[in-house]
Amino acid sequence: MKNKVKVLLLIILLFSVTSPTIVVDDLVTQASFDYKILAQPSVDTTLLTVKDFQVYDGDTADFILDRSKEPSIKARFLLIDAPEMNQDVPYKIEARDRVIALLEQAELIQIEYEGKTKDRYNRDLVHVWVDGILLQ
């Protein structure tokens, strides 16, 4: 049994070394990953356009929205659980910086509500769409 596990781990290691992920200029697109993106906005919800943003960490940001009612929200991204900036854990800065980079290079940022709209900290729970691609 141990030999089978070792062989499997060796195969996984060899595959990961010989098949690196393709990323061009840090852009995440269908073409760069050579697969069809399956996530689509829900048919029965409205996408709200983001006019400006301030990122706190890899899963939380303030958004200025293009709407008169509640034009500014503190948003918690659905489907992501990134480290908080006040935690002593690895990758918290990289997670925040990656979200900032994706949002800064976007031509269109939109949010979408699904299900429960607020968490226990009164943050809006949203999906974030960056140029039509789900950020999460």
Residue 32 has a pLDDT of: 58
Q: Strands 124-130, 72-77: parallel, antiparallel or unpaired by DSSP?
A: parallel
For the chain, domain boundaries: 37-134
Whether 11 has a pLDDT exceeding 90, the answer reads no
Whether 122 has a pLDDT exceeding 90, the answer reads yes
53 within 8 A of 62, measured Cβ to Cβ: yes
pLDDT in tens, 56-100: 999 999 999 988 888 999 999 999 998 888 888 889 999 999 999
Residue 96 has a pLDDT of: 94
From the options 2.130.10.10, 2.40.50.90, 1.10.10.10, 3.30.420.10, give the CATH code of 37-134.
Answer: 2.40.50.90
Residue 37 has a pLDDT of: 61
SS (H, E, C) the chain: CHHHHHHHHHHHHHHHHHCCCCCECCECCHHHHCCCCCCCCCCCCCCEEEEEEEEEECCEEEEEECCCCCCEEEEEECCCCCCCCCCCCCCHHHHHHHHHHHHHCCCCEEEEEEEEEECCCCCEEEEEEECCEECC
